[in-house]
Structure 1
Amino acid sequence: MNLKRFGVPAVVALTAALALSSCASNEGGAAAPEESTSTLSGNLVGAGASSQDTAQQSWIAGFQTANPDVTIDYDPSGSGAGRDTFLEGASAFAGSDRAFKDEEVAAGGFASCAPDSNIVELPLYISPIAVIFNVEGVDTLNLDAATIAGIFSGAITNWNDPAIAATNPDATLPDLAITPVHRSDDSGTTENFTEYLGAVAPDVWSYEADGVWPIEGGEAAQGTSGLVDAVTNGTGTIGYADASRAGDLGTVAVQVGDDFVEFSPEAAAAIVDASPLAEGRSEGDIAIEIDRTSEEAGVYPIVLVSYLIGCEQYEDAANAELVKSYFSYIASPEGQDVAAADAGSAPISDSLREKVDAAIALIK
């Protein structure tokens, strides 16, 4: 199942995003029912992963419909910026395409949280990362991990390279330079993508997984929308982005074992359920260690697990109540189905939901 039909508009500027997220959801199709039993009120501020933006707008609309006296602002500023904003106490929750690292959690200093509070990290947005390209006349390619790594490392520079032709005998590959495009910002999508390359093609990709692109040079673009625009408007371009944003671009089926697997919500969910939880985390910190090297049938290993991050204990009780209610809605079957319909994400499994609900119960 390909997600190209789930293309979405580009992310707008910060001021417009905040205005639309808080106003459009109240005034548009998500108008609150005439009578509401909700007693929640207030403003909730979040920031972070741009990959979640479409899902966040749907979640905000649904939550504000049920709770018309609540407004939620989510700034899709990128995972790194979102984590920093949460650390500084300028937001009550963050969206991030990776969990906080062990050393970051140990350092603490989460300004919105009560002293000595643990954080909750909930894997509530699961989506494949698509390798997208723009080559006239070519809609899809089968590529192994070493070839993908060679392209993005600069070792493979032309679309008719023998490594690409070997797994695509029926494709008409042009004598055309490859232009790899990477994120210019600190991005959880980049960290997930580089983690995959290093795990599956270590002989070709010698760089550590990082949210900051590790190679000098090449074409860089800000945010998910910027990268997709750069690939779309270029010639011979290739990049990586949340699969919901693939649109009409060419996409790659990646080799898993002896098969080539196209991205899909089902394949993304399968790799998450086949992967272990990180060790040594607190009860509410559900960080997942994705098994990028899995050869199980039907799994897609270039997957983005994007987290909703909050505090177990908040300095502000009003924030605690709003975050707990909002996270509960996002984790519910209704919230997960809304994101799947609008953003092409993979709904979490029932077994994962049990762990998430237990973590949300800790928020106070």
Structure 2
Amino acid sequence: MKALLMGSVAFAAMGVASESAQAQSLAFGAGATFPQIVYRQLMDCMYTQAQGSPGRPGPMAKAANCIGFNTSGFGGVMLYAATGSGNGKTVLRTNDKTQIGTPSSSAPAYTSANWNVNSTADYDGVQFVGSDDVVNAADMAAWNTGGANSPQAKFGNMITLPAVVGPVALGFNGKDGTGATLNILPATPAGGSSGLNLSRNALCGIASGHITKWNNPILTALNGGVLGTGNITFVHRTDGSGTTFLFTNALVEQCRYEFGPNNETDSTVVSYAFPWTDRAQSCSSPLVPRGANQVNWPDQFATNQCGTANANPGGGTFANASGSGALVTLVTNTNGAIGYASSDFWLPVRVGGLKTANVQSQWDITASTGQFQPPTPAAAQKAMATAIPQMDATSRPNPLTWSLQGVSPNPVVAGAYPISGFSWIFMYQCYQPHANGNNAYLWFKTWLDFVYGSGAAGIFNENGFAQVPNVWVGEVYTLLNDPANGPQGSGCSGKVGAY
């Protein structure tokens, strides 16, 4: 606390009232679109509202559960460009603000999520990124490659922290393939926005392209009668998306033992296992379906990276969009469409948004509950509470430890929403001071303390998210306070540090 107070005095002395964005800014980040709205509201609550000068959006409303802007009393702003998890990883590795992609324009102005300036001119370096896609072996190889010029040599360890818990919700158009209104039962008291129920078999059949019509008998049996007619159009992301990772990572695990008719006119029983392979895999390895931020959807890639056709034997209809906002727009404007995005893009979080489906969990299947889970914050938190970290002083500094333990692709607990995950903060171990005297890590750490504290719970929940379970928060602070491997620790000796 003494260090924070001393930092605030030094920061105030720098002239926070200056018109220069670089004199006011605390920290800069880019990456995942999944948490962009809740990040913006958490940043605006802790620091000064991102608003004001010509050419920038604003003013923008604060979160209902925030008592006011700049509750830290420190002033300054934090900026976050929602560009996708894949781009976030690139930006972290290069520590180059010019690598930041085009920010999402999907978040409504009242959430202030689009204070993602149209250029990066105001970005005084990059201190952190967001990603829903976990760190993998290829990421670590890239981090450690390059000798004296590698990110490891320049910036120290990559530090990965779970920051947000959220469900990946399945929003639907509300119309069948012909444009007629779907015959959906009323929403149940469980907290969902609709009565559309998808068993595991149904969801796997749709995503694999075998359940192709709204009058499919499997859907009819689940929903008290025929829902409609015409094609189901499944809309997916084309960009490198952590939301796609969470969705595919769940379905690869959950769908492996599901079977059903090839389609509505072919009764041949086939596997409904998730069939679309990882686009990033080397062609020298056998291509397999696995959780990935970009996969070989049949409408996006005629062939996979080995030149083999991406077959669609069930004949399902697929469509694609880049970014969560564009996906939601496409679902909205396409008859019979259903697609995936974080819960803040749909009802009830998004006022006037589309409804979402309820999904069967492993507990519902095993215990024969007859229930289906809506994508609520509480249900997502239950799912991720089943991922319990087991770390020690040796394994904790390794990002792969966090990645391997920080997923729950098939939670087995009552009331858990089965497609849930963490959105992660990736940061550097070593930082250098900025030209304006700003200690960016100090201000970023102050925000992290707010993110993990009890005062932020309401902001998470109103945006359709939940806070990280306490068992993970304990591991976060053990690493952050590690005198050797934590940020600015003794392991930074001789390293340049990220700007």
Equivalent position of 1:146 in the other structure: 201
Residue 236 (structure 2) aligns with: 182
Structure 2 distance, partners of 1:37, 1:310, is: 22
Partner of residue 34, structure 2 = 51
Q: Which amino acid aligns with 2:397?
A: E
In structure 2, the residue matched to 1:328 is 449
Higher helix share: 1
Instruction: Identify unmatched segments of 5+ residues in structure 2.
Output: 1-6, 12-23, 48-69, 97-125, 175-180, 185-193, 257-270, 276-288, 300-317, 348-352, 489-499
State the one-letter code of the partner of 1:283: P
- 2:246·2:291 contact (CA, 8 Å) conserved in 1? yes
CA RMSD of aligned residues (A): 2.5
Q: Distance in 1 between matches of 2:34 and 2:458?
A: 17
Q: Distance in 1 between matches of 2:73 and 2:131?
A: 25
Q: Which amino acid aligns with 1:220?
A: N
Q: Quick check: which has more Rg, 1 or 2? A: 2
Find the counterpart in structure 2 of residue 222 from structure 1: 322
Match of 2:478 in 1: 358
For the pair 1:253 / 2:373, whether they are aligned, the reply is: no
Structure 1 residue 73, shift from structure 2 partner: 1.4
Of 120, 126, 134, the match for 1:99: 134
- Given that 2:407 and 2:421 are in contact with CA atoms closer than 8 Å, whether structure 1 keeps it comes out as no
Q: Residue 459 of structure 2 is aligned with which of 338, 349, 355?
A: 338
Q: State the partner residue of 1:15.
A: none
| Cross-structure match for 2:468 | 348
Alignment match, 1:29: none
8 Å Cα contact 2:155/2:428 also seen in 1: no
Deviation at 1:67, TM superposition (A): 4.9
Deviation at 1:92, TM superposition (A): 1.2
2:172 alignment partner, one of 116, 126, 133:
133
Q: Secondary structure of the residue that 1:173 maps to in structure 2?
A: coil
Partner of 2:43: 60
Percent identity, please: 25
Higher relative CO (CA 8 A, sep ≥ 6), structure 1 or 2?
1
Q: 1:157 & 1:131 partners in 2: Cα distance?
A: 16
Tell me which moved more, 248-257 or 150-159. Answer: 248-257
Distance in 1 between residues matched to 2:344 and 2:225, nearest whole Å = 25
Count of residues paired in the alignment: 327
Q: Which moved more, 1:280-289 or 1:260-269?
A: 280-289
Distance 1:292 1:100 in 2: 16
Rounded Cα–Cα distance in structure 2 between residues aligned with 1:71 and 1:112? 27
User: Aligned partners of 2:431, 2:334: CA distance in 1, in Å?
Assistant: 46
> Which residue pairs with 1:22 in the alignment?
none
Q: Work out whether residues 180 and 237 of structure 1, in 8 Å CA contact, stay in contact via their aligned partners in 2.
A: yes
**Partners of 1:56 and 1:181 in 2: how far apart?**
25
1:274 matched to 2:400? The reply is no
Residues 154-183 of structure 1, C-alpha deviations (whole Å, 9 max, x = no match):
111101101211222x24411121111001
Give how far 1:334 is off: 2.0
> Partner letter of residue 474 of structure 2?
E
Q: What residue is the counterpart of 1:75 in the other structure?
A: 81
CA positional deviation for 1:338: 2.1
One-letter code of the match for 2:332? Answer: T
Once the two structures are TM-superposed, the CA of residue 148 in structure 1 deviates from its matched residue by: 1.0
C-alpha separation between the residues in 2 aligned to 1:38 and 1:62? 20
Please give the per-residue CA displacement for 1:64-108, whole angstroms capped at 9, x wherever unaligned.
Answer: 112544322110001111111111102210000122113422431
Using the alignment, how far apart are the partners of 2:240 and 2:377 within structure 1?
A: 25
5+ residue gaps, structure 1: 1-35
Structure 1 window deviating more from structure 2 (254-263 vs 309-318): it is 309-318
Task: Write the distance in 1 (CA, Å) between the matches of 2:195 and 2:40.
Answer: 30
